[in-house]
Amino acid sequence: MYYLEEIPAYLIDARDEPDGVIDYLIATSSEEEFCICPTINAEYLKKLIYSGFLIMSMQGQIQTPEGDKDHIFFIPKIHYLRSVLHWENLHITRTTRRLLKKYRLTTEVPLRTIMDLCVETHGSDWLTPPLLDMLENLGAEKNHHQLSMMAFGLYRGNELVAGEFGSRVGKIYTSYSGFYRENSAGTVQMVLTARYLQDQGFAFWDLGMPLPYKDSLGAINITRDEFVELFRRYRNA
């Protein structure tokens, strides 16, 4: 692990144990959230997700004997503050309650379909094709009980109107990205997803970066060390 002051971020590779990287950040009271992996393989991707990193990516350039070349860098992020929803805190407005019966949530939706719709909505700045391919391959590993990818689709009739995808580690679901195509559909999707996760025995919902709409759902913001303690408690459950 090497600190790149000009970015700033920590340069890591498969020789660095992800748990150890996180422990170092906590022990040194570092406020840095990002690491950079110039390359990554499937096994290291799993280790990073298992440790609580949210995997992002970006296009940059590397120097080669032939000159600068475009290159995809993987960006594991471990938030300094993390948004977490505990089921007892789920807040559903009256307006949203009236809308719930108009929609149907399902997990029987192709992961790639949801990922592509997220890219269509938000762009590919961090959801680059190589990252999507690796996450899709992880989602196809049917024998991986403790660590996998999940996708949710919200339908009104036969129309897909909202959805999201993320990773599952033990009893923890971590959101990556989502989309909606009509007003209120995004809120309904999140409420129904929360109910589904609770019914399936998940311990909590890791929502990643704190944002006001997550707060309005009932999420709380916890420090990195609090999140890591909570994550490690349930990742093998």
Average pLDDT, whole number, for the chain? 94
**What percent of the chain clears pLDDT 90, i.e. is strictly above it?**
86
What pLDDT, on a 0 to 100 scale, did the predictor assign at position 145?
63
Percentage of the chain with pLDDT > 70? 96
Of the pLDDT bands very low, low, confident and very high (cuts 50, 70, 90), residue 233 is very high
- The string of pLDDT tens digits covering residues 213-231 is 999 999 999 999 999 999 9
What's the pLDDT band for 3 if we cut at 50, 70, 90?
confident
Read off the DSSP letter of residue 75: E
- For the cut 80, the answer to whether the pLDDT of residue 67 exceeds it is no
Strands 172-180 and 54-64: unpaired
Contact between 89 and 205 under an 8 Å Cβ cutoff? The reply is: no
Domains and CATH numbers, the chain: 2-77 (3.30.110), 81-234 (3.40.630.70)
Instruction: Please tell me the distance from the alpha carbon of residue 147 to that of residue 168, in angstroms, as a whole number.
Output: 5
Give the model's confidence band at 138: pLDDT under 50 very low, under 70 low, under 90 confident, else very high. Answer: very high
| Tokens matching residue 225 | 């060390």
Chain segment 157-181, per-residue pLDDT in tens: 999 999 999 999 999 999 999 999 9
Query: Left (φ > 0), alpha (ψ -120 to 50) or beta: where does 29 sit?
Result: left
